[in-house]
Chain A
């Protein structure tokens, strides 16, 4: 995989938010390389910084946030240097698109579906209204809207939730972006629709050849779609590797805890596993490993010094002192052994996350 082309490279990104008179550090020195055509999933609990991190790729940070350090190289440009709408023209929405969590509210309720698609096409491609309409109808058909030409002039309230998410995808893909960021694309949808939408994105990715970044806290989604996975906690990526490596050979205690919390692993009659405690306050400077206070495997050094990334394999790195040769040997929790079979069960036919594989 290493010989593949890097399309976007984020280095030492630090993001700060000004909240009243305090500064909150939401992202702490995160680096990430995205390879052309891959599907990268970022997982982590709420507040871990998943969304904020990807928002820096499109300059979508809230007005009180700023990238205080680092660089994001994309097509020879440093995205952290772009400020105004004009700077972003040609990148945001054209080269890098985003789809958001809630399709119910992502579309303007009082404008027609058609006008909301064509406005992007006209904006980025500068084509005439008729040409934009033709393209819009084509992309609507592509995302599975039947009878697209007739439904062009309908309003969002005439569409179901799944259909609306398809439209959102159509809008995001209407200008053939290089990178598609899916910010929890299926969270607001019911399970059957979730699978359809994931399948759709997968197919479109194969057709249109773009790179996908999934942001999710749903490991089922990750197992299903991701080539590579990054686990985020407390504003940092603490472990990353291929999906296989993360699921079947996780190294960081937080990844263990996260995998143990899969509700599907719970057994009848027993309490579901959950991670005790709360995430660290990002207002304070975090000393050592951010997860240490909630980590039952924590070493003394975890509270003192931040661990570096230890290499597990060429593609797999984890940020935990447990990988240091001097660390005591610790077995990962029993419940996440054999995860392979369990995941298989969940995503195979009849399982909650089953997506029909097409050859």
Chain B
């Protein structure tokens, strides 16, 4: 059993690797790299300043990892330090250092070009494979006291220590790490949190510029939820700060200095609406619960009363859902919900805090799942009903209720139970049409939007997440099958005599 699961996990990892490699190569070598600027406002503003624009393009490409970029500013700062007189003389076009720069980078195999003002710059494309390797290499980040490298703050302490959080929890704190609170407790589920191991899937660009991708999809959205807090300096105020998320910030402004006694001032703020993943997941979970709670009993009832009224009504519903495009029936349903029950027609009208906002999207999402489950449950139960052992059970003298309870239900549910993890996983992927109709800020639109906006890192990260979740859910489905069906077993049975 353990061996089997391990083997399946290894194979899963391998498939994920293959998928990511394929998508990585597609995204970074087949999509023209100029396209990423199409949705970039900063880029548009620079159109009057060609040198700045070129510099911006190069720096962006460097950030995303297409190439390694060098210019006189980096070169001179490296030689003479930041903002010295020598540096200022050095960066001017035609300085003696610019000649050295050109010679140096030409000898290193870089392509050297010149700005309109005459200053040289150099770049060298990075091969896709090495970028792929570093993508995987950076995926898991381990925090440690020597993580922060800040030349402007050479006196930074490097140590781990125990302490408390401003909200009253206990914490393993760190100085020199990226996160101040390595392990901490608070009142938020699951009550103990850690920042030692973090997953990094790249930075978002050009949408959600500068944010880590996982922060984009896992952070709460909307308005800040403020409450009175006391900061480390003793200052109290209304804030939605989440202390546990505070990260090192090298340049502190006055406001930061009023609140924090150290450099850990880059924090995240709690907002009213759940994160994109959260919102899709909550909607999905409830719609799945509704779908299973209704679909299975109705499907069973249909099988039990085959060709009678309830079966025919159920069939009408199933055919309606299959035949009518989802866009159409969701609009019909939304119209009914808003006119008959006065429910809001869009999610943001009342917001995530109000339960009425959730009702229509959740039920809209459940409609097709209910019909699917009804259809399959009916089908499997009818299959079982015509099986020999059900006939034999009848001839044993069991009544219809006992036959359904003992001989049909479990047999019919086994193939359906196998699909439960996959339907849970599909929640995370989000529901594009339902979310669009109700203006829900969920995951549904993320992948199509990311593709449309050339947010390549986002495309990769989502591909990775979705592929991983799907593969794991298939594995879980198989394990459920093993658990439910005695005929399927992974352990070697001893021979019988």
Contacts and interface: CB of A to CB of B under 8 A. Distances in A.
Q: Do A and B bind each other?
A: yes
Contacts of A157: 486-487
B397 A109 contact: no
Contacts of A123: 396-398, 402
Contacts of B400: 85
Contacts of A119: 396, 398, 402, 406
Contacts of B38: none
Nearest to B389: A108
Contact of A110 (B392, B396, B410): B410
B396 A93 contact: yes
A94 B388 contact: no
A82 B399 CA distance: 14
Nearest to B307: A63
B168 to A, nearest CB: 53
B257 interface: no
A105 B396 contact: no
B86 interface: no
A158 interface: yes
Contact of A60 (B394, B399, B407, B411): B394
A132 interface: no
A207 B92 CA distance: 114
Given A105-B388, A106-B388, A110-B414, A92 B395 contact: yes
Nearest to A177: B397
A194 interface: no
B195 to A, nearest CB: 47
Contacts of B414: 110
Contacts of A108: 389, 393, 406-407, 411
Contacts of A60: 391, 394-395
A303 interface: no
Nearest to B393: A108
Interface stretch (A10-18, A95-103, A259-267, A268-276): A95-103
A171 interface: yes
User: Is chain B's interface secondary structure helix, strand, loop, or mixed overall?
Assistant: helix
Contacts of A88: 397
B394 to A, nearest CB: 6
A106 B398 contact: no
A107 B392 CA distance: 8
Contact of B399 (A89, A91, A168, A175): A89
Interface string B171-187: 00000000000000000
A92 B389 contact: no
A120 interface: yes
A89 B398 CA distance: 8
Nearest to A98: B395
Contacts of B484: 110
Nearest to B395: A98
A310 interface: no
A209 interface: no
A311 to B, nearest CB: 35
Interface in A58-110: 58, 60, 85-86, 88-89, 91-94, 97-98, 100, 102, 105-110
A105 B397 contact: no
A100 B392 contact: yes
A23 interface: no
Interface string B439-482: 00000000000000000000000000000000000000000000
Contact of B486 (A85, A105, A155): A155
A110 B486 contact: yes
Interface string B296-318: 00000000000000000000000
A52 B241 CA distance: 78
Nearest to A171: B396
A92 B397 contact: yes
A285 to B, nearest CB: 29
A352 to B, nearest CB: 27
A86 B402 CA distance: 12
A85 B395 contact: no
A184 B384 CA distance: 22
A155 B407 CA distance: 14
Given A94-B397, A124-B397, A158-B496, A109 B487 contact: yes
A100 B393 contact: no
A15 B369 CA distance: 43
A60 B411 CA distance: 22
A111 interface: yes
Contacts of A110: 410-411, 414, 484-487
Interface in B359-408: 387-389, 391-400, 402, 406-407
Contact of A106 (B389, B486, B496): B389
Interface in A119-152: 119-120, 123-124
Nearest to B394: A60
Contact of B395 (A86, A93, A109): A93
A98 B391 CA distance: 10
Interface in A215-235: none
Nearest to B399: A85
A332 B410 CA distance: 57
A168 B395 contact: no
Contacts of B389: 105-109
Given A92-B394, A106-B388, A111-B406, 16 more contacts: A60-B391, A91-B397, A94-B397, A97-B396, A100-B388, A100-B392, A100-B395, A105-B388, A105-B389, A108-B411, A109-B389, A110-B410, A119-B406, A123-B396, A171-B392, A172-B396
12 contacts: A93-B396, A93-B398, A100-B391, A105-B388, A106-B389, A107-B392, A110-B414, A120-B397, A123-B398, A124-B397, A155-B486, A158-B496
- 8 nearest A-B residue pairs (beta carbon): A93-B397, A85-B399, A105-B388, A98-B395, A93-B396, A106-B392, A108-B389, A92-B397
